[in-house]
Chain A
Amino acid sequence: MRLPIAGEIVEWDLILQVIYVALGAGVAVTIAVSFAILGATRAADARRDGDTIDTVIYGGLFLLGLGACLAAVVLGIVVMTSKD
């Protein structure tokens, strides 16, 4: 008896949407920055050791992580400014 009433009052579909979007975005941003940091650290080490291939690979990882993080920031600004 209580569930249908709660179902009418609480917008479960919105809650579910918030849960998966927030979980995905929050974890993804942290992973992106972590990879950017890992890439920057390893690329610096590789350059110091004169390892060109690793420098390029880890430099690419750094750029990829950085790009993903910047994209998330831009998306966040767009979401904020388009809220009505």
Chain B
Amino acid sequence: MEGDVILVIVVGTALAFDFTNGFHDTANVVATSISTRAMAPRVAVGYAAILNFVGAFLSLAVAATVASGIVEADLVTPTVVFAGLVGAISWNLITWYYGLPSSSSHALIGGVVGSAFVAEGADAVLGEGLLGKVAVPALVAPVLAFTTAAIAILFAYRIIGRQSPGTVNRGFRVGQIALAHGTNDAQKTMGVITLALIAHGDLAGGSDPPTWVIVTSATAIALGTYVGGWRIIRTMGSRIIKMDTAQGFAAQGSGAAVILAASHVGFPLSTTHTISGAVMGAGAAKRVSAVRWGVAGNIVIAWVLTIPAAAVVGGGIYAIVSVFGEDSAVGPIIVSAIGLTLSAWAFARRLRRGPTLTTAEA
């Protein structure tokens, strides 16, 4: 009975994480399109929500259990996963509150690493995995996207030269709509829920996610995307640089190329790091001072803090939950109730203070 309750809580928490992943990372897909007026804000997030929903069905590889190879899989229990998810959700909400784009995957990895560390000690964490699968890609993604977007925008300015701005803007706007894409971030949640089901004995090891897991994960990320993390969209779309249509296209095209190239060879890159780096590159190539380096610096600090901060929260939550016993449902119930109350309060407060983005504001 206790195990069933914990399973239900883990599934609910995973879907909550999926929802925060959706609204937190909406900016990766729509920020350039909205800020260059290629699409109206609501149309853009609606489009992104549909594409993210579809993206959840494109590839069902449960390799998206992002912590695999980073923590000892045998030592991961549903309670460890629960604490890790709470750590990830907490960091997603904090960075959303301050309008900072940060990686939801890194937040999940950090949360699980922290809770596994507190649960089983340092042996539970695989340092090589952290270096090879997290640290190096975190350096490669923004630098590569920055460079690609910078070279691309220089070619674009050279080619379009002094053509009529009206035609040029229309052309790059249409180009951005053509390059609009979704993500398949819902895979992470599918992987987490599937692992919990396997651990609970409802599925055989190595099973694919059941249909209900795929549909609920796709729905949660699509709903989150449609709600839209407007603060982060504003940061990425207009606070890092004041973007023209060519820069928007170069950033989006370069970001998509980096993500697809990495995805094709199975190299894990953060979409957030990639698109943010591309936006900075498209701005810096035009004029270094065009980039608001203070904003860019805050974003980089958030990237660096993501794993440690989520790990501290994940570890702390595990310590609290385990007071009631590793297999007890009391701890997760109490933490979930407190988390839901705090999240509802933060949402209500932010929604009251922050109106949704209009095209004119972008």
Which residues from chain A contact B132 at a C-beta distance below 8 Å? 9-11
On chain A, the residues within 8 Å of B136 by CB distance are 10, 15
Q: Within the assembled complex, what's the spacing in Å between the Cα atoms of A38 and B160?
A: 6
B153 within 8 A of A: yes
Contact between B267 and A11, CB atoms less than 8 A apart: yes
Interface mask (B138-163 → A, CB under 8 Å = 1, otherwise 0): 00100011011101110110011101
Indicate whether A1 reaches chain B with its CB closer than 8 angstroms.
no
Known: A22-B148, A38-B160. A69 touches B263 (CB 8 A): no
In contact, B163 and A38 (Cβ under 8 angstroms): yes
User: Is B102 close to A, CB under 8 A?
Assistant: no
B258 contact from A17, A18, A33, Cβ within 8 A: A18
Tell me whether A30 and B131 are in contact (CB under 8 A): no
Nearest CB of A to B181, in Å: 7
Let me know if A3 is at the binding interface, CB within 8 A: no
A27 near B152: Cβ-Cβ < 8 Å: yes
When A18-B258, A38-B160 are in contact, do A83 and B61 touch as well, CB less than 8 Å?
Answer: yes
Nearest neighbor of B130 in chain A, beta-carbon distance: A9
Of residues B59, B153, B163, B264, which shows the largest number of chain A Cβ atoms within 10 Å of its Cβ?
Answer: B264
Q: Which A residues are CB-close (under 8 A) to B167?
A: 37, 40-41, 44
Q: Is the CB of A26 within 8 A of B148?
A: yes
CA distance in complex: A36, B148 (Å): 20
Mask of B244-281 contacts with A, CB within 8 angstroms, 1/0: 00100110011111101111111101000000000000
Contact A31 B159 (CB under 8 A): yes
Check if B261 sits within 8 Å of A33, measured CB to CB: no
* CA distance in complex: A29, B257 (Å): 9
Contact B155 A34, beta carbon cutoff 8 Å: yes
Chain A neighbourhood of B120, CB < 8 A:
none
CB within 8 Å for A79 and B264 given contacts A10-B131, A31-B152: yes
Beyond the given pairs A30-B253, A33-B253, A41-B167, 13 more chain A to chain B contacts, judged by CB atoms under 8 angstroms and listed by A's residue number, are A6-B131, A10-B131, A17-B265, A18-B265, A22-B145, A22-B262, A25-B260, A26-B255, A26-B257, A29-B253, A30-B156, A31-B155, A37-B171
Contact B131 A31 (CB under 8 A): no
In angstroms, Cα B160 to Cα A33, docked, is 10
**What residues on B are CB-neighbors of A36 within 8 Å?**
171
Within 8 Å CB of A27, what residues of B? Answer: 148, 151-152, 155, 254
Closest to A34 in B: B159
